[in-house]
A and B are shown apart, each in its own frame.
Chain A
Amino acid sequence: MRRTIRTGAAALAAVLALAACGRDAGGGQEEATAVAEGKATGEITVWAMGTEGEKLADFAKEFTAENPEATVNVTAVPWDAAHQKIASAIAAKQTPDVSMIGTTWQGEFAKTGALDPTPPDLFKKDDFFPGAWDTTVVDGTAYGVPWYVETRLVYYRKDLAAQAGFPEGPKSWDDLKAMAKGMKEKAGATWGMNLQPGKTGSWQSVLPFAWSNGAEVATEDTLSFGTPELTEALAYYQSFFTEGLAPTALPDGALEPGFVKGEIGAFISGPWHMGIVEEQGGPGFKDKYAVARMPAKKSSTSFIGGSNLAVFKDAKNRDAGWKFVQWLSKPEVQVKWYQAVKDLPAVQAAWEDPTLSGDTFLATFGDQLADAKAPPAIPTWEQIAAAFDVEVEKLCKQNTDPAATAKAIQDQATAIGTGA
């Protein structure tokens, strides 16, 4: 008897608690508040991931020199599970003042209401690469600013490309295909090109082709994967596999050694691969390879990624936090930051510095950054991307029809929604 009463009471309490739940229709644009004038004061807590986290504390000493009443307290956070850490901090309202945020997380965190809108008096949208700025915009408001960027280029073996008849690298879609073929047939490579055949992150290799073909793909409000432009791009992507130019099952870790040995002629990746490939290839390898812009169809558009900086609404020291972010966005500071950690600056003016414009490879990255897009900052993007990856895997490994693939992606994306 007692037990029934007790369970009954517990159930009632649970029902009442649940009854207290309910969504109200909300959302829409948020107004940003201006930041107070003057130097920064007080303690500024910052979270940053990986190498950035390691080096930022030291780097920030210049900021504290200019703002003697402020101290910057940096906590380095591992990339592994950083997303979970920030989400948990938001749930428990234990956020720092400033945090580094991956571009694909921006939509989700902005929608939680935890991020502070970017104050328009401190930052100008046009200072940054357009693709990068777009990653901070949710529902028409910018939450945070881009900090550093990365984009994808075609890495190729100069010697093999020359033998294939493309000493200057590929310029168009046809060029790329012909070069891959030539590398295989005339230069003796096992694979002319390495493309990611589905699985996590393959969308970052496929969408540049879609964008270069004029496909809109997705905006904050619409999802349009079922277009002929995307189908054409998928067909092009698939053809590398069906024609035996790209491997469908390259073992993990085999890419860099393969590229160095000349077994793999080309691949698509970001700036970090320069270091890996040169370390693997040893001294002198830098002369054997080159990077080229994404091959052009209607345009030569690539993917832009990187990280943004955001200030939290629950920040204890909001104004100083924004001032610190503003300092990090100065072109001179962006150049110095590149010199410290090799992160490509998100501020366009920084690229005029000879450190960046003087290096041919870097200059190509800078060139591509002007025409690089990112997916919309919607909270459901990761889930849509996962569905995209699954369909692409079928496309590459099971030869499914590109139009059917595009339709399947569109159907799943519509079911997932934009999380509005």
Chain B
Amino acid sequence: MVRTRDRVAKAVLYAVLVLGLLAVVGPFVWMALSSVKPEAEIREVPPTWWPETVTLENFRELFSRLDFPLYFFNSTLVAAAVTAGNLLFCSLVGYALAKLRYPGKRLLFLAVLGMLMVPGMVTFVPQFVLVSNMGLTNSYAGLILPFLVGPFGVFLMRQFLLSIPDDLIEAARVDGAGELRIFWRVVLPLCRPALATLGILTFLASWNNFLWPLVVATTEDRYTLPVALALYSVGQNKTDYGLLLAGAVVVVVPVLVVFLFLQRHFMRGIATTGLK
């Protein structure tokens, strides 16, 4: 009796999930397929699905016009640094906010939340003037430092760390471990899902960041990938869709790689191991 109920539930679940999957992958598949179509076919209305003509011209043109290794390196360096910074500093602060007691903690958390709620556009110009007065224009530091930490990461880690049982930490403290050691050895390993989540989201945001790198870089050798791609595909009055889509495919591949690599860590069981 239970088994049939289980099987029906399974079937329904699979059906819903597969339908959902088809619904979500559509544009992505179109994007990938269209990157190998000639410009005229991409503009066809109604849009074609399978390419009538397959051409690698878009990619060829992209790689010949674009100094791909340079921009890829810049984007990778910046995104990796920003992600590492966020993972480290935000979890430190998140832990302090969730588990430690110290004066000013509430004010700090409120400030973090407040910052999270400030609409992005309004601080852009003051932030740029500040960074340029610090002499950081056209430098990797200028691309990385303003994003090395973020209120989003702090909020996420704090919420997640709240659910780590205090007994664990107490036990370690009773054993005489220093706070940093507790953080590093006991708490952080339990946070793998949250860290993986924060890692992916931060990497994605940094990788796709367009406006800041555009404004901070004054010479092309500090451009990141999205900036360089926009350079070649969007004109004053016309858009080169072939290049745009080829660029979009190129930009998305590293993100998917990072995602595939990190999503393994949404694994059940890690959180339970400490309770014995």
Judge A-B direct contact (beta carbons within 8 Å): yes
Chain A residues proximal to chain B, CB less than 8 Å: 45, 49-51, 53-54, 73, 75-81, 84-85, 87-89, 91-94, 96, 102, 150, 251, 253-254, 256-258, 270, 272-273, 275-276, 279-280, 282, 307
Chain B nearest CB, measured from A47 CB (Å): 8
Residues A84 and B220 in contact, CB atoms below 8 Å apart: no
User: What residue of chain A has the Cβ atom nearest to residue B138's Cβ?
Assistant: A94
Name the B residues within 8 Å of A81 (CB-CB). 210-211, 214-215
Partner of B215, one of A73, A88, A93, A276: A88
Chain A nearest CB, measured from B134 CB (Å): 11
Name the B residues within 8 Å of A251 (CB-CB). 45
Chain A nearest CB, measured from B230 CB (Å): 4
Q: Can you sample 22 A-B contacts with CB below 8 Å? A: A45-B218, A50-B231, A50-B235, A50-B236, A54-B65, A54-B231, A75-B219, A79-B235, A81-B210, A84-B214, A85-B214, A87-B125, A88-B125, A88-B129, A91-B129, A92-B129, A94-B132, A253-B43, A254-B45, A256-B43, A257-B43, A257-B45
Q: How many residues of B sit at the interface, in one of the four size bands? A: 20 to 34
Interfacial residues of chain B within 202-237, with CB under 8 A of chain A in the complex: 210-211, 214-215, 218-220, 227, 230-232, 234-237
User: What residue of chain A has the Cβ atom nearest to residue B121's Cβ?
Assistant: A84
Asked whether B128 is an interface residue with its Cβ less than 8 Å from the other chain, the reply is: yes
CA distance A359 to B135 in the complex (A): 51
Chain B nearest CB, measured from A21 CB (Å): 15
Name the B residues within 8 Å of A53 (CB-CB). 231
Chain B, interface SS category: helix
Residues A150 and B45 in contact, CB atoms below 8 Å apart: no
Chain A nearest CB, measured from B64 CB (Å): 12
Asked whether B7 is an interface residue with its Cβ less than 8 Å from the other chain, the reply is: no
Residues B129 and A253 in contact, CB atoms below 8 Å apart: no
Asked whether B39 is an interface residue with its Cβ less than 8 Å from the other chain, the reply is: yes
CA distance A271 to B220 in the complex (A): 29
User: What residue of chain A has the Cβ atom nearest to residue B39's Cβ?
Assistant: A279
Name the A residues within 8 Å of B128 (CB-CB). 88, 91-92
CA distance A176 to B98 in the complex (A): 72
* A79-B234 contact given A54-B65, A92-B128, A94-B137, CB 8 Å threshold: yes
Interfacial residues of chain B within 79-132, with CB under 8 A of chain A in the complex: 124-125, 128-129, 132
Chain A nearest CB, measured from B193 CB (Å): 36
Name the B residues within 8 Å of A92 (CB-CB). 128-129, 132-133, 137
CA distance A102 to B237 in the complex (A): 12
Residues A272 and B235 in contact, CB atoms below 8 Å apart: yes
Residues B236 and A79 in contact, CB atoms below 8 Å apart: yes
User: What residue of chain B has the Cβ atom nearest to residue A150's Cβ?
Assistant: B237
Chain B nearest CB, measured from A146 CB (Å): 14
Number of contacts between A and B (CB, 8 Å)?
Answer: 87
User: What residue of chain B has the Cβ atom nearest to residue A74's Cβ?
Assistant: B220
Name the A residues within 8 Å of B65 (CB-CB). 54
Partner of B40, one of A150, A254, A282: A282
Q: Which 7 A-B pairs have the closest CB atoms?
A: A78-B230, A92-B132, A78-B231, A254-B45, A88-B215, A80-B230, A280-B40
User: What residue of chain A has the Cβ atom nearest to residue B229's Cβ?
Assistant: A78
Q: Quick one: CB contact mask for B26-57 with A, threshold 8 Å, 1 for yes? A: 00000000000001100111000000000000
Residues A78 and B227 in contact, CB atoms below 8 Å apart: yes
CA distance A276 to B211 in the complex (A): 28
Chain A nearest CB, measured from B137 CB (Å): 6
Asked whether B264 is an interface residue with its Cβ less than 8 Å from the other chain, the reply is: no
Residues B236 and A102 in contact, CB atoms below 8 Å apart: yes
Name the A residues within 8 Å of B218 (CB-CB). 45, 75, 89, 94, 96
Chain B nearest CB, measured from A359 CB (Å): 19
* A77-B214 contact given A51-B235, A91-B129, A307-B236, CB 8 Å threshold: yes
CA distance A84 to B125 in the complex (A): 9
CA distance A145 to B44 in the complex (A): 39
* A272-B237 contact given A81-B210, A91-B129, CB 8 Å threshold: yes
Name the B residues within 8 Å of A276 (CB-CB). 43, 238
User: What residue of chain B has the Cβ atom nearest to residue A280's Cβ?
Assistant: B40
CA distance A96 to B219 in the complex (A): 10
User: What residue of chain B has the Cβ atom nearest to residue A96's Cβ?
Assistant: B218
Chain A nearest CB, measured from B63 CB (Å): 15
Counting chain B CB atoms within 10 Å of each CB, which of A91, A273, A275 scores highest?
A: A91
User: What residue of chain B has the Cβ atom nearest to residue A93's Cβ?
Assistant: B132
Name the A residues within 8 Å of B215 (CB-CB). 81, 84-85, 88-89
CA distance A89 to B125 in the complex (A): 9
Name the B residues within 8 Å of A73 (CB-CB). 219
Interfacial residues of chain B within 169-220, with CB under 8 A of chain A in the complex: 210-211, 214-215, 218-220
Name the A residues within 8 Å of B230 (CB-CB). 78-80
CA distance A49 to B44 in the complex (A): 28
CA distance A49 to B231 in the complex (A): 8
Name the A residues within 8 Å of B227 (CB-CB). 78
CA distance A115 to B142 in the complex (A): 26
With A85-B214, A92-B133, A282-B40 already in contact, 5 other A-B pairs whose C-beta atoms are closer than 8 Å: A45-B218, A80-B234, A93-B132, A257-B43, A257-B44
CA distance A243 to B222 in the complex (A): 54
* A270-B132 contact given A81-B214, A257-B43, A279-B40, CB 8 Å threshold: no
